[in-house]
A = this chain, B = another copy of it.
Amino acid sequence: MEAGPTRADAGGSGPEGDGTPRTRIQEKNRARILEAALGTFARFGYRGARVDQIAEDAGMSKSNLLYYFGSKSEIYKAVLADLLDRWLAPLRTLDPEGDPRTELTAYIEQKLRFSADYPEASRLFANEMLQGAPMMRDVLEGPLKALVEEKSQVLRRWAACGRIRPVDPVHLIFLIWATTQTYADFAPQIEAITGTGIHDETFRRQALQSLTDLIFAGLLPRPGSP
């Protein structure tokens, strides 16, 4: 009885199969491809992206790229999978035991950082939504929905204790998502108007300050303060 093939995958033509790189070269090249693909897909969407442009951005031949990922849609799926964890992570850290203001401020700050550090990831996510989320529907209806419901409960409990006013938690979450992502997704607009953007630290602090101030205190003058 001979030992089963130690490191063979389904096909014989390349390292396709699961997403686990076997060699250092694979690890490096897959990473380069995913990064290049992120940029291209974020800008042009799935259909608008061109495989050879991704290859060029990744600094390799199209043939070689297709050696690592068998098809365009395979690259796309891999990029999306990479993206989702990071996108969802910040909300997971919202602590039910913490102080509402501290917790939400931290959450908003993390989301703003995400827009600053991975603007292309944010834009790719947006692009998927604009296309009708063909590759993400299950995730939206599954893990995302579950997480939102869990955290909505947290917000409702805070409201019940009188620690925050009773606002609809889902719309609050939408508001935080929208306002933080807009700085990445609509960067050209923001830059045209302000002359700078979320990549700039000073601007990011201003954005955070304005957002938290608005969300917590609101626009109307408070009775007690001049």
Residue ranges of A at the interface with B (Cβ–Cβ < 8 Å):
42-49, 100-101, 104, 123, 126-127, 129-133, 136-137, 140-141, 144-145, 148, 162-165, 167-168, 170-172, 174-175, 177-179, 181-183, 185-190, 192-194, 206-207, 209-211, 213-224, 226
Check A182–B178 contact: CB distance below 8 A: yes
Closest 5 CB pairs of A and B: A218-B218, A47-B48, A48-B48, A140-B192, A171-B210
Check B165–A220 contact: CB distance below 8 A: yes
CB distance from A123 to the nearest CB of B (A): 5
A189 in contact with B129 given A172-B210, A210-B168 (CB within 8 Å): yes
Check B214–A215 contact: CB distance below 8 A: yes
Residue of B nearest to A208 (CB): B171
Contact residue among B164, B207, B220 (Cβ-Cβ distance under 8 Å from A101): B220
List the B side residues contacting A46 at CB < 8 Å: 48
